Structure 1
């Protein structure tokens, strides 16, 4: 997630929530190996009632990233 995208989120003391949907290992002919993860991000459902019984109330966003792990 780049810094511009981070401003679109309400954070929980600086923490953003995401879920990894896919792990990929990519090997090329030149013996380069990349391990990639597809992360789909969550945001709070409401700005007024962000927690229910101490747990964050989240919804999936339309934002996802592929990162090298």
Structure 2
């Protein structure tokens, strides 16, 4: 048997999700970006994520 993991995000009711989206469009909240990788370096991006040494989002450019 293989180990598997399912990860998700609970956002509450549909109304709460719509309120959150409206707030994000108005407020100056921006994600923290740790590092950008070109798509050809996808494996390196996964290694960084798996090592857990990042703070913020790991982004792919394509």
Which TM-score band applies after superposition, normalised by the shorter structure? under 0.3
Q: TM-score, normalised by structure 2?
A: 0.23
Structure number with higher strand proportion: 1
TM-score (norm 1): 0.22
Which structure's residues are more often helix, by fraction? 2
